[in-house]
Amino acid sequence: MFISLHTHSDHSLRDGFQTVKDMLSYASALGQTAIALTDHGTMSGCGEGMRFADDYGIKFIPGCEHYLANDLTIKDKQVQHIVLLAMNATGYRNLNIITTLAHRPENFYRKPRIDMDILRKYNEGIICTTACIAGCQEKAKELKEIFGDRLYIEIHTNSLKDQKPANKHWLEIADKYDIPFYAAQDAHYTVRTQAEAQRSWTPYDYDNGDGQGYDVCDDYFLHTEEEVRRALSYLPQDVVDLSIKNTEVAANRCTFKMKYGEDHYPKSKYADPKLEVRRRVWAGCKEKGVDKDQHHINQIKHEIDVLGKVNYFDYFLLVSDLINWCKQKGIRTGVGRGSVVGSDVAYMMGITGVDPLAHKLIFERFAHTQRVSPPDIDTDVPRGKRQEVIQHIKDEYGQVYQVVTFGHMDDKAAIKRAAKALMIDHTTADKLCKQYDSIDAIVSAPPESKKQVMDKLQESEFGLWMDTARQFKGKIQNYGTHASAVVVLTTDP
């Protein structure tokens, strides 16, 4: 059975045209048992793939197509493509580390880049392939020394005029160095009929050196096994058979499955977190003069019991330490916002500044043993001090990463983007967007209400415009940074 192991979603910004769910749904409908996601330089779509793969009855393989540079110290735009797939938990962690390193300022030039030294250090648990026609086939010998039997050469199905001789040459390399090979279709969209829309979506031509890019063929879609066989029919039958079989062999070697519902909070520096929490709470009670108040004492006992069961002691200590540091540095913090103000423990530890008992606030809104999702503590600091606080967290606990956000194209943005792709005057698109709220509203509106637009465009042009906009709608158009959330790791990549 053919398994798609080289695919791109719209997380490959302005390049991949299919969503992760599109891929999962279509591969499942074809009866394929697994699919890999290998977006360019990012693993941002892997979380979605791992969360929803079971809904489609298919195995998801997290991966990434990276850019391999000869020398990271040189600002050279010449890079080769290389595909990496996570086989197990170690491989998934290493792949995340590789992707993180690729985006570091000292390695990033035009694209996130890696080199052989990074692969030598973090290759465990990873399958490596030589990728596409822009790949690293000529580095096969060196890559085999690093990856051993975890290296594969990809044989591609597209109809670029250079692809057939390239495939034959790559098979010679595979034979010379005893490297297994498998078929790949480098899918950037789901079905063939999306080729034109994808060309409109991509704002530049992926030229391979002789004028050949996505705009000269329409076969960068998810292939069936029959379509793979047809595309590779110029090769010996036994070679085609093996190239398909090896996709399943490689997929079966990838067994990583994300476990959800676990907590992976960073650990505080205290040997006995519960004891430290109790110490701080008791000190807070004395400071506030309620150390003999049975109402507070009973509530604190209850809360500490619950916080222990849900494993929040380290979290409270990390936040408490952060707020104490801010106070020492003269950085203002909020008195409390959200459900955490219902916690007497948080109040006594100085995390919040509101007495929950005096205001009859409910602790269980913040934490209880049946809560499905863990709570969070909103810690407000002045915007101008934000980076200083983040740097302190980095210094104290290791690596800190700001959370990515995804900007999806809404109706009006899709209309304007489609107009630009089809070279329709932007003032026409602007007028239409001011007049209507959605694509559906435009399509269903009577012609006389769209007369100004329709006078400028043929009906067929207008229809193509709206159809293209529909296909653009919902696609990821940019990445952003969450206004407040950071992720803390206690180990340094």
Backbone angles phi, psi at 449, to 5 degrees: -75, -15
Higher pLDDT: 43 or 428? It is: 43
- From residue 168, give the alpha-carbon distance in Å to each of 153, 172, 207, 215: 12, 6, 21, 24
Check whether 492 has a pLDDT greater than 60. no
pLDDT for 375 equals 77
190 — pLDDT class (breaks 50, 70, 90): very high
Contact 315, 277 (CB under 8 A): no
Token duo for residue 167: 């495939």
Average pLDDT of the residues in 202-214: 49
| Percent share of the chain, pLDDT over 90 | 71
Average pLDDT, the chain: 91
pLDDT for 302 equals 96
Q: What pLDDT digit, counting tens, does each position of 252-301 carry?
A: 999 999 988 777 777 888 999 999 999 999 999 999 999 999 999 999 99
pLDDT for 391 equals 87
Check whether 209 has a pLDDT greater than 60. no
Reduced to 3 states, what is the DSSP secondary structure of residue 156?
A: strand
pLDDT for 208 equals 42
Element (H, E) at 253: helix 237-253
Q: Which amino acid is at 177?
A: Y
For the beta carbon of residue 133, count every other beta carbon within 10 angstroms.
20
Check whether 207 has a pLDDT greater than 50. no
Average pLDDT of the residues in 404-430: 91
Residue 267: HSE in the Cβ half-sphere, 13 Å Cα cutoff: 6
Token duo for residue 467: 């159809």
Q: What is the DSSP letter of 266?
A: P
Check whether 347 has a pLDDT greater than 80. yes
Higher pLDDT: 59 or 404? It is: 59
Higher pLDDT: 147 or 209? It is: 147
Check whether 144 has a pLDDT greater than 50. yes
Q: Hunting for tokens 């044989």 — which residue is that?
A: 155
- Encode burial over 447-456: b for 16+ CB neighbours within 10 A, e otherwise: eeebeebeee
Element (H, E) at 115: none
pLDDT for 416 equals 93
Average pLDDT of the residues in 63-84: 95
Average pLDDT of the residues in 406-431: 91
> Among 491, 406, 471, which residue's Cα sits nearest to residue 39?
406
**Non-local CB neighbours of 290 within 8 Å, separated by 6+ positions:** 296
Average pLDDT of the residues in 107-131: 97
Check whether 32 has a pLDDT greater than 60. yes
Average pLDDT of the residues in 81-87: 98
Check whether 205 has a pLDDT greater than 60. no
Q: Which amino acid is at 158?
A: N
* Pairwise CA distance, residues 19 & 27, whole Å: 12
* Pairwise CA distance, residues 3 & 61, whole Å: 11
* Pairwise CA distance, residues 381 & 428, whole Å: 45
pLDDT for 215 equals 55
Higher pLDDT: 267 or 124? It is: 124
* Pairwise CA distance, residues 243 & 228, whole Å: 10
pLDDT for 493 equals 45
Average pLDDT of the residues in 180-185: 97
Q: Hunting for tokens 């890696």 — which residue is that?
A: 114
> Among 120, 251, 89, which residue's Cα sits nearest to residue 180?
251
Q: Which amino acid is at 13?
A: L
